[in-house]
Amino acid sequence: MPPPRYLDKASVAALFGVSPRTIDVWMKKRLIPFLKIGKGVFFDQEDIHRYLLSKCRVQSTIG
């Protein structure tokens, strides 16, 4: 079980609404930040939050 600050692959998949296999693909392509400790793969909650913010786009309704 990961430490409280870290998420496992299933939790990250649920957060993004994708399958754990999709998370594997994103990891392989280095699209998402992750930590590998031994055989375990963990995702820092703060890194995931920053990643989400960097990918967000705000659509302007001014016009």
Cα–Cα distances (Å) from 25 to 1, 20, 21, 55, in that order, read: 22, 9, 6, 17
Instruction: Name the CATH topology of 6-55.
Output: Arc Repressor Mutant, subunit A (1.10.10)
For the chain, the structural domain boundaries read: 6-55
Structure tokens, 45: 């909650």
Q: Alpha-carbon distance 44 to 8, whole Å?
A: 9
Q: What is the pTM of this model?
A: 0.75
Structure tokens, 42: 């963990």
Residue linked to tokens 């909650």: 45
Q: How does pLDDT run across 6-62, given as a tens digit for each residue? A: 999 999 999 889 999 999 999 999 999 999 989 999 999 999 888 888 877 777 676
Structure tokens, 5: 């600050």
